[in-house]
């Protein structure tokens, strides 16, 4: 009964949210990434945030659509529906064993093809994400007086190291090595690496602000190429610019097919299905 009520509530909220786009004139406003996230027989769809046919994909790390908790945020989903690598999570004063981040509650989630935001509760933090082709941008906002911190860890047999205002390294999934180059908008006083080099924690001085901005690039070649990919994709520190560029890209692709007639719900089904056609990397 509890699961049924949770599912029903989520469906009602999603329906209410996307009914607000009935008067939208742009195709991307009709896309509902939650559509198909519940499946009793087959593998469900996932609410993926990415550019069309791009190398970098994102969706929140949780057990299922109806889960009350999540484990954090991948820097990339290497396979079509699995293979999350380079895990990110807000860090509280009691970060604990960074190799095993526990699940935390979340609320106020918003997902579009080009932007993601959520509030996590342990520690309290607003998390935002926007994608580029081979790079991504995270923004973490902590309450006033809280100590801003973030944990970056590998999910496989990888290694990470922090230096200055950057973290670099690699992660491995199914034998595929992915390289990372990540930058913070300001330099942390110090990095706290895990003993096995598979995770790095960074805390920041709260008197310099309660927000942490993070941009990063990935590559299947080496960390130098990951850095070049970041420099090609994202030049500034404004997540709004990144999400706006991603939105424009989606509108350009989805507008390649024009439709006439139909109900608002049929338009949502159509454009969501078209959005799903661009999930795989080319």
Instruction: For the chain, give percent helix, strand, coil, nearest 5.
Output: 25, 35, 45
Lowest mean pLDDT among 14-23, 27-36, 94-103, 224-233: 14-23
Average pLDDT value for the chain? 87
Lowest mean pLDDT among 79-88, 97-106, 130-139, 150-159: 97-106
Q: Is the backbone peptide bond immediately before 4 cis, with ω within 30 degrees of 0?
A: no
Q: Residue 212 contacts by C-beta under 8 Å, 6 or more apart in sequence?
A: 138, 139, 140, 142, 148, 150, 184, 185, 186, 204
- What pLDDT does 16 receive? 40
Taking only the tens place, the pLDDT of each residue in 268-280 is: 999 999 999 999 9
Domain formed by 48-255, architecture: Distorted Sandwich (2.70)
Contact 105, 23 (CB under 8 A): no
Tell me the sheet residues that pair with 87.
74, 153
Strand stretches in 122-210, DSSP E: 124-131, 135-141, 149-153, 159-163, 166-173, 176-184, 190-193, 199-203
Strand stretches in 3-121, DSSP E: 49-50, 57-58, 69-70, 73-77, 84-90, 104-112, 115-121
- d(C-alpha 187, C-alpha 243), whole Å: 24
φ and ψ at 263, to 5 degrees? -85, 170
Contact 175, 109 (CB under 8 A): no
- Burial-class residue 199 by CB neighbours within 10 Å (0-12, 13-18, 19+): buried
Write down how long the chain is.
282
Greater confidence (208 vs 252) lies with 252
Lowest mean pLDDT among 19-23, 73-77, 91-95, 248-252: 19-23
Q: Which two tokens stand for residue 16?
A: 């209410």
Q: Domain-by-domain residue ranges, the chain?
A: 48-255
Coil/strand/helix, residue 152: strand
- What pLDDT does 48 receive? 93
């Amino acid at each position: 009964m509890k699961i049924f009520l949770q599912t029903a509530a989520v469906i009602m909220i999603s329906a209410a949210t996307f009914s607000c786009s009935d008067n939208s004139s742009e195709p991307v406003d009709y896309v509902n990434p939650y559509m198909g996230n519940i499946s009793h027989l087959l593998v469900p769809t996932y609410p993926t945030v990415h550019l069309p046919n791009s190398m970098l994909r994102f969706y929140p790390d949780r057990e299922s659509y109806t889960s009350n908790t999540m484990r954090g945020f991948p820097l990339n989903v290497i396979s079509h529906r699995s293979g999350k690598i380079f895990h990110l999570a807000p860090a509280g004063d009691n970060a604990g064993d960074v190799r095993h981040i526990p699940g935390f509650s979340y609320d106020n989630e918003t997902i579009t093809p080009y932007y993601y935001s959520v509030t996590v509760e342990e520690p309290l933090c607003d998390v935002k994400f926007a994608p580029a082709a081979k790079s991504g941008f995270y923004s973490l906002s902590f309450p006033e007086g809280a100590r801003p911190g973030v944990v970056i860890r590998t999910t496989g047999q990888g290694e990470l190291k922090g230096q200055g205002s950057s973290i670099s390294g690699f992660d491995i999934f199914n034998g595929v090595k992915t390289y990372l180059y990540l930058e913070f908008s300001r330099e942390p006083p110090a990095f706290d690496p895990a003993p096995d080099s598979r995770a790095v924690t960074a805390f920041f001085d709260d008197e310099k602000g309660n927000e942490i901005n993070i941009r990063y690039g990935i590559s299947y070649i080496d960390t130098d190429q990951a850095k070049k990919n970041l420099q090609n994709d994202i030049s500034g520190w404004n997540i709004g610019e990144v999400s706006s560029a991603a939105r424009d890209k989606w509108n350009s692709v989805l507008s390649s097919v024009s439709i006439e007639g139909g109900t608002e719900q049929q338009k949502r089904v159509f454009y969501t299905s078209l959005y799903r056609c661009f999930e795989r990397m080319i």
